Structure 1
Amino acid sequence: MANPAAVANAYAAMSSLIGGAGDAAPAARGSGFGEMLEKSLAGLAEQGRASDETAVRALSGKADVVDVVTAVAESELALDTLVSVRDKVIAAYEEIMRMPI
C-alpha cells in the first residue's frame, strides 16, 4: 500500500503540472497534452534521480531507511501513473484506428 505522504506528493506534482486546468483552455495557455507529457516525463526522471540520491546517502549512513523507502514508494507511484497514462493513450489510439473513415 502506498504511503499517504507519497500519494499527496504525487497528487501535488500532477496538479502543478496541470496548473489549474479549469482556469483557461489549453490553447489559451499555449500548452497542450504533449507539453504536459514532457513535463511529466521530466518529473519522473527527476523523481528517479532523487530516489537514487537518497539510496546512496543511506548507504553512506547520511539518510534514514524510512527516507529511502518513501523515495522509492514515490518513484513507484509516479511510474505506475505513467504506465496507466500510456495504456490509456494506446487504448485511445486503437479506438481511433477502428473508426470508419
Structure 2
Amino acid sequence: MTIPASVALNAYARAAGMGGGAAPQAGAAKQAAGAGGFGDFLEKAINDGVDVGKTSERQMAASAASKDGSLVDVVTAVAEAETTLQTVVAVRDKVIAAYMDIMKMPI
C-alpha cells in the first residue's frame, strides 16, 4: 500500500515538532533532563499517536453514520493513523536495539 505524500508530510511535521527542531548542543543533556527529558518526549509521542488513532476512529464512525461523510477524509485519517503506528513501531525497534547494544557492552 502506498501512503499519500500529504499524509507522510503531516506525520513528519508532527514528529519534527515533537523534537524541538534544533540539534542539541554540548551540555544540553542536563538542561533537557531538567526541562522534560526523554521520558516526557516519549510520553508526548505516544499520546499524540493515540490521539491520531482516536481521530481516525471518529472519522470512520461519522462517515458510517451519515451518507454525507467524505470517503477521502476517512481514507486520509486511516492512512495517517497507519503512518503513526509505523513510526511508533520503528521507534520501539530502535529503542530495543539500543538496549541490546548496551547490554552487550563489557563492564
Asked if Structure 1 and Structure 2 have the same fold, meaning a TM-score greater than 0.5 normalized by the shorter chain, the answer is yes
Measure, in 1, the Cα distance between the counterparts of 2:30 and 2:97: 24
Measure, in 2, the Cα distance between the counterparts of 1:44 and 1:50: 10
Pick one of 23, 27, 31 that aligns with 1:28.
31
The alignment's TM-score, normalised by the length of structure 2, stands at 0.86
Structure 2 match to 1:50: 55
C-alpha spacing 1:85/1:23, structure 2 compared with 1 (3 Å): closer
Measure, in 2, the Cα distance between the counterparts of 1:18 and 1:66: 30
Letter in 1 for 2:55: A
Structure 1 match to 2:89: 83
1:19 Cα deviation from its structure 2 partner = 1.6
Measure, in 2, the Cα distance between the counterparts of 1:68 and 1:74: 10
The runs of 5 or more residues in structure 1 that have no matched partner are none
Letter in 1 for 2:56: S
Measure, in 2, the Cα distance between the counterparts of 1:54 and 1:26: 40
Measure, in 2, the Cα distance between the counterparts of 1:31 and 1:78: 22
Percent of aligned pairs sharing the same letter:
43
Measure, in 1, the Cα distance between the counterparts of 2:20 and 2:105: 33
The alignment's TM-score, normalised by the length of structure 1, stands at 0.91
Structure 2 match to 1:69: 75
Pick one of 56, 65, 84 that aligns with 1:60.
65
Moved over 6 A (4+): none
Largest Rg, 1 or 2: 2
Aligned residues: 101
1:60 Cα deviation from its structure 2 partner = 1.4
The runs of 5 or more residues in structure 2 that have no matched partner are none
Root-mean-square deviation (CA, aligned residues, Å) is: 1.5
